[in-house]
Structure 1
Amino acid sequence: MTDEKPDAGSPEDASEGMAAARRRYRNFRKVGYRPVSGGAEPAEAGGSPAPEDVEPAAEKPVEPEKVAEPEKVAEPAQVATATLPPPSAWQSVPRYPVAGPTAAGAIVPPAPVPLLTWWRPPTTGAPAQVLVVGLIAGLAGAFLAPPNNGIGWFLAGLFGVGAVLFHAGKPSVERALWLAAALAFLAMGFLRAAEWIFPLCLMASMVCGSIAMAGGKTVRGLVFGALGVGLAGFRSIPWVAKGLSKRGPVGIRPFISVGVALALLLIFGSLLAGADQAFSDFLEGLVPDLEIGVYVRMAFFGAVAAFGAVGACYLVAAPAQINEDAESKPGSLRVKDYALPVGVLVLLFAGFVGTQLAVLFGGEQYVMETAGVTFAEYARSGFWQLLWVSILTLGVIAGVARFAAKKTAKEQLWLRILLGSLAVLTLVIVASALSRMWFYQQAYGWTVLRLLVASCEIWLAVVYLMVIASGITLRANWLPKAIIGTGTAFLLTVMAMNPERVVADYNVSRFEATKKIDTYYLSQLSEDAVPALVRLPEEQRSCALRYVRFRNVEEDWRDWNFARYTARKSLESVAVTERTCESPYSGER
């Protein structure tokens, strides 16, 4: 019996094809579309179905006569695929689902990169406590800060600092010292009457408060620290907006409550003021006369105070992560690169210091014989140049110390010798500048500018001593913070010692010894100098106090000033008459 295979059109083949088609359709319903890429997709991309998704092929019954024949291996079932439809010219590119995040052709958008990676914003919105802090500081700045220097500035700063500390918690020792310095500078607003002192103290107070909240110990950190509160104020705007949005609309009821309170205050306050004159005067003292300019000033002061307080709270919630402990890149400036320029400066300074020693030991006679000028003219002609030399040399030393190579012991030795010599010679130049200022004031007396510049020279001498100390170990991580700290201490000390009073006291004592005094210059001083000027005889006293006796800038209690109060008490015990005054000094002094 011959074995014959069934032809292609047999019923068995038709039923087998229909079964395979049904299996492919069921698998197509489970898997979905798969792009045609020239072959079956890998299993991890979802191209082939899992083994359990495909039904096993139906086994045909084995006929007895065909057992001896080799078994025919069935081909694996293919997954039905379909070509993606082309995008329409009138529509954007369609987005088809992918099997997973790692599927081929998936477009993953890049993660956003923050602008300042070392200063990330808070993840949540501003809490209600921050809004209260900003409100307290803003109201204090608007209603307590006066147009002139007075006690109101100190009270406004006290409210602002207290509100910030209420949110920030117990401060560290360093933060407490910086905040105390900020308040001490604001206190000069009611302790000193000189108009030039308060703007300087106000800026110093803002810098100290910013460093207190932002911190910093290196040059980069201290620069950010001085500007940190202002920058944080701008960055806090979306933070505050996010906090407000979570609380929903405020509603009209709080505004109605405030309006009713103001109406009741106005009605009953007016009735009580009309009932008693003393109470009316008291209310007039509390409520200043308001004009358009006053409203603008109050709004500006309040906005600045609230801005700074919220910025300080932002720094507490999101402090800047400046890596100040990381070592800086090693310098690449070789010894032969900087030895010649620094060596030339050392030789030049050494020659100048040699001539200064001859002047100091030779005295006035030596100067007049060699320079042909008086000792005072000689001192005046070179003081400002020596001041600029001291400042510029500090920059040269800082630049070379930063970029010079310090890997080997030889490089470190050369750096110590050259920069150390330059710092020591500059310290002698600072001493020469101070001696010139002393001789100059001996000839013409003290002025406020001379006192301030002499104090600056003393601070520069302290800075050079710290530079020499840091050069011994070649470690200056502590130096930037020490320079800022000593500068703040020197400025606060000068303001606390009352510079105008010191100048007036010295000039009055000099008049008692030499009968020489510049009453025109003394008349330009503020009420700070009045307790010293009342010691003068009647003629000189009247000329020195001819302007200050009519001066009165206080409008209400916020403008109260201790120096002005003391001056009024001093003027009550002496007579000041109208006189024609002429200064014995003429020309440039």
Structure 2
Amino acid sequence: MEFKLKKGDWIFFLVCLALGILAERSFLHGIIGLSYPVFITCFYGVFFWRYRSFSFTNKKLGLLLIASIWLLSLSFFLNSNMVLYMLNILVIPVMVLIQLVLVTYPVENQWHRWPFVQNLFLSVGAAISYVFRFIMYAPKLAVRGLEKSKSATIRKIFIGVAISFPLLFVILNLLVSADQQFGNLLGTIPRWLLALKIEEEVLRTIATAIYTLVIFGILQVLRTSRQPLPSEPLTQKEKMAWDSVISLTVLTLLNMVYLLFVVIQFKYFFSETLKEGYTYAEFARRGFFELLSVTMLNLLIISTLVSFVEKSSKLMTLVIRVFLSLLVFFSGVMLYSAFIRLFMYEEAYGFTFARVLAHSFMIFLLVILCYSLMRIWMDRLSLVRFYIISAIIFYTLVNTIQLDRFVVERNLERYSETGKIDIHYLNSLSYEGVEGLMELYEINPEHPGLSDLLLQRKQDLQYSVKSWNSINMSRRSAEKTLKDLELE
């Protein structure tokens, strides 16, 4: 098929070029801040303008994804947690790609099936192919309308420039030898070129071109009408069904093991006794990750059996549902046990971002377990859809809620009770940690090493380079408070 571009496509390419320039200015000039929500807003403005007459599908989930993407980009402006910062650099582009393919996917409400995942990869491949053809044929398309005489003239000009280079080299050397002032004038040109940082500018130009071509390619490809991939036939799904007797046997053995484990857990946490030789902190550290892994494995087993166990007699179906419900109950007890273990560990060693994040993830797993219990008894519910939507909401909330601030407050409360706090860990957090150090300074300015740490942070903030794309409200708040803080 011949590659063709209409006049509107060239205009859109120029718009994408402007987006590419904005992307390079937003992401490759220091730490990202305000520039990310600005870019996302401009990008979706261009997207909706380009697709203004397009009939979108999966609108509800598409709007949820757009809201999540914008909130995640806004976190670069409001928060300063480096873990989430690095993670979102990878997550947001993937979410944007999924959202774009989702709302242009030709099938409504089929986004939780495997053909949609295949379509994601096919869309990326089609965009790469489109960009390659554009690069190959764009020069031909640009000169297609020129007359042969003009084309020949341009070719002769290039030949003349190539011939002139060796002549100019000889002539300039002779003129420099003849006139020293002329030589001094030419000597300023290399210094001027060095001031331009040519290598850096070339790399930035390449980055701008890549951003432009990626945006142009994916938005051009998704506008074309595409046929959905054929779904798996029903007979194939029936072949994947798990035997009910085998499933019941597996559930019975699992529940027996978990029953014994739960009895031991109740002995520990309600009789306040521990295995001899272990402190609470050691006990918590030994079992937390194992219990969390078992809970997630149980969720996989529950979702698999609910989706693929074969339909048999009403009695067998009822028994399997009861045993699945028991598995959910035991999973909930193990999740609670892991929650308590982590809480004990925090009491012994303090609160950190990773531990608070693990606590929030366990709350997310609890919500998943509750919904899975409902799905066991209600066939019309969809597990995969709920898992995907709840995961999007959970990740967005983690970025929206200031977990670093929560960690700082809990550690300050622990300090008021025990007198223990790790100021170096607070310093390693985002700028919320710096504000926590300043609050600690107001409580106890004599704390060992605290004034030196704050003085160092004050100097770092004072001499750091500031630009519009790196504007961050968390940083500005810390700067203002540090500026007003009088260190002894």
TM range (shorter): 0.7 to 0.9
Rg larger for: 1
- What is residue 93 of structure 2 aligned with on the other side? 206
Distance (whole Å) between structure 1 residues aligned to residue 342 and residue 5 of structure 2: 57
Q: Does 1:316 align with 2:223?
A: yes
- Partner residue, 1:267: none
Q: Does 2:16 align with 1:140? A: no
2:434 matched residue in structure 1 = 530
What is the distance in 1 between the residues matched to 2:125 and 2:219? 10
Aligned residue identity for 1:493: L
562-571 or 430-439: which moved more? 430-439
Closer/same/farther in 2, CA of residues 348 and 568 from structure 1, 3 Å limit: same
Whether 1:550 aligns to 2:465 is no
- Report the 3-state secondary structure (helix = DSSP H, G, I; strand = E; otherwise coil) of the residue aligned with 2:376: helix
Paired residues of 1:164 and 1:313 also in contact (CA < 8 A): no
The whole-number CA distance in structure 2 between the counterparts of 1:405 and 1:436 is 38
> What CA distance in whole angstroms lies between the structure 2 residues aligned with 1:559 and 1:359?
50
Matched position secondary structure for 2:393: helix
- 1:405-458, Cα deviation, whole Å (9 max, x unpaired): 125434533432332322221122112111211222122221011011111111
Post-superposition Cα deviations, 1:238-275, rounded to whole Å, max 9, x if no partner, equal 6757995995537899xx9xxxxxxxxxxxxxxxxxxx
1:474-499 Cα shifts (integer Å, max 9, x gaps): 345x3223212212222221222222
Cα distance between partner residues in 1 of 2:403 and 2:339: 17
Once the two structures are overlaid, the 10-residue window that deviates more, 232-241 or 376-385, is: 232-241
- Candidates 341, 346, 357, aligned match of 2:255: 346
State yes or no: 1:448 paired with 2:342.
no
Deviation at 1:508, TM superposition (A): 1.3
Structure 1 position 497 matched with structure 2 position 401: yes
Cα 1:562–1:554 shift into 2, 3 Å: farther
Runs of 4+ in 1 over 6 A off after TM superposition: 121-124, 250-253
- Contact 2:119/2:229 (8 A) holds in 1: no
- Of residues 45, 62, 85 in structure 2, which corresponds to 1:175? 62
Which residue, out of 368, 385, 401, partners 1:481? 385
Amino acid at match of 1:351: L
CA apart distance, 1:460: 1.2
Measured after TM superposition, the shift of residue 502 of structure 1 is: 1.6
Larger mean Cα displacement after TM superposition, 447-456 or 312-321: 312-321
* Alignment partner, residue 386 of structure 1: 291
Query: Given the superposition, is the C-alpha separation of residues 310 and 198 from structure 1 closer, same or farther in structure 2, using an over 3 Å criterion?
Result: same
Contact 1:338 1:400 in 2 (8 A): yes
Q: Does 1:220 align with 2:125?
A: no
Distance 1:412 1:448 in 2: 44
| Structure 2 equivalent of residue 59 of structure 1 | none
User: What's 1:99 paired with?
Assistant: none
Counterpart AA for 1:464: L
Mapped partners of 1:448, 1:533: distance in 2: 16
1:225–1:413: structure 2 CA closer, same or farther, 3 Å change rule?
A: farther
Q: Alignment partner of 1:482: what SS?
A: helix
**Superposed, which structure 2 residues align to 1:129-528 within 5 Å?**
130-145=12-27, 146-169=29-52, 172-215=59-102, 217-220=111-114, 223-224=117-118, 230-237=124-131, 240=134, 249=143, 292-293=199-200, 295-297=202-204, 299-300=206-207, 303-304=210-211, 306-308=213-215, 310-319=217-226, 321-322=228-229, 329-330=237-238, 331-363=240-272, 366-367=273-274, 370-476=275-381, 478-528=382-432
Distance 1:426 1:246, change over 3 A: farther
The structural deviation recorded for 1:295 is 4.3
Q: Which 10-residue stretch deviates more, 489-498 or 407-416?
A: 407-416
Q: Residues 208, 411 of structure 1: CA spacing in aligned structure 2 closer, same or farther, 3 A cutoff?
A: farther
Judging changes above 3 Å, is the alpha-carbon distance between structure 1 residues 299 and 506 closer, same or farther for their aligned structure 2 residues?
farther
Query: Equivalents in 2 of 1:294, 1:242: separation in Å?
Result: 24
1:349-379: per-residue Cα shift (whole Å, max 9, x none)? 121122112222122xx12xx3322222212
Cα pair 1:508 1:533 within 8 Å, conserved: no
RMSD: 3.3
1:348 Cα deviation from its structure 2 partner: 1.1
Gaps of 5+ in 2: 103-109, 155-194
CA contact (8 A) 2:26 2:469 kept: yes
Return the structure number with greater relative CO, CA threshold 8 A, min gap 6: 2
Q: CA deviation at 1:291?
A: 5.8
* CA deviation after TM superposition for structure 1 residue 500, in Å: 1.8
What is the alpha-carbon distance in structure 2 between the residues aligned to residue 298 and residue 357 of structure 1?
64
Q: Please tell me the residue identity of whatever aligns with 2:323.
A: L
Distance 1:407 1:469 in 2: 20
Q: 1:387 to 1:549 in 2, by over 3 A?
A: farther
Give CA deviations for 1:175-222 in whole Å, capped at 9, x if unaligned: 232112112111111212232221212323223222222225324256
- Kept after mapping to 2: 8 A contact 1:210/1:229: no
Structure 1: gaps (5+ residues): 1-120, 257-287, 578-589
TM-score (norm 1): 0.64
- 2: CA distance between counterparts of 1:229 and 1:360? 53
Given that 1:380 and 1:440 are in contact with CA atoms closer than 8 Å, whether structure 2 keeps it comes out as yes
Aligned-pair CA distance for 1:345: 1.2
1:49-68 Cα shifts (integer Å, max 9, x gaps): xxxxxxxxxxxxxxxxxxxx
- Provide the rounded CA distance (Å) in 1 between the counterparts of 2:271 and 2:355: 25
Query: Partners of 2:417 and 2:227 in 1: how far apart?
Result: 59
* Distance in 2 between residues matched to 1:222 and 1:289, nearest whole Å: 47
1:514-561 residue CA offsets vs partner (Å, 9 max, x unmatched) = 211112222222213222321112133426535533334544221121
Q: How much has 1:384 moved relative to structure 2?
A: 1.0
Q: Give the Cα–Cα distance (whole angstroms) in 2 for the partners of residues 201 and 372 of structure 1.
A: 43
Q: Distance in 1 between matches of 2:308 and 2:249?
A: 15
Q: 2:205 and 2:79 mapped to 1: Cα distance?
A: 23
Separation (CA, whole Å) in 2 of partners of 1:251 and 1:297: 32
Q: Is the 8 A contact 1:390 1:430 kept in 2?
A: yes
- Distance change in 2, residues 1:235/1:440 (3 Å): same
Tell me the distance in 1 between the aligned counterparts of 2:289 and 2:38: 39
- Aligned: 1:569 with 2:480: yes
The 8 Å contact of residues 325 and 373 in structure 2, kept in 1 or not, is answered as yes
| Alpha-carbon shift at residue 144 of structure 1 (Å) | 2.7
- Secondary structure of 2:222's aligned partner: helix
- Aligned residues of 1:375 and 1:439 also touching (Cα < 8 A): yes
Q: How does 1:41-56 map to 2 (within 5 A)?
A: none
1:131 is displaced (CA, Å) by 2.4
Q: Residues 298 and 190 (structure 1 numbering): CA distance in 2 closer, same or farther, change over 3 Å? A: farther
Give the helix-richer structure, 1 or 2: 2
What is residue 40 of structure 1 aligned with on the other side? none
CA-CA distance at 1:141 after TM superposition: 0.9
Is the CA contact 1:214–1:224 (under 8 Å) kept in the aligned structure 2?
Answer: no
TM-superposed deviation, 1:298 = 5.7
Amino acid at match of 2:218: G
State the alpha-carbon separation in 2 of the partners of residues 467 and 526 from structure 1: 36
Distance in 1 separating the partners of 2:298 and 2:248: 15
* Amino acid paired to 1:234: I
Supply the distance in 2 between the matched residues of 1:437 and 1:490 (Cα, whole angstroms).
20
SS in 1 for 2:97: helix
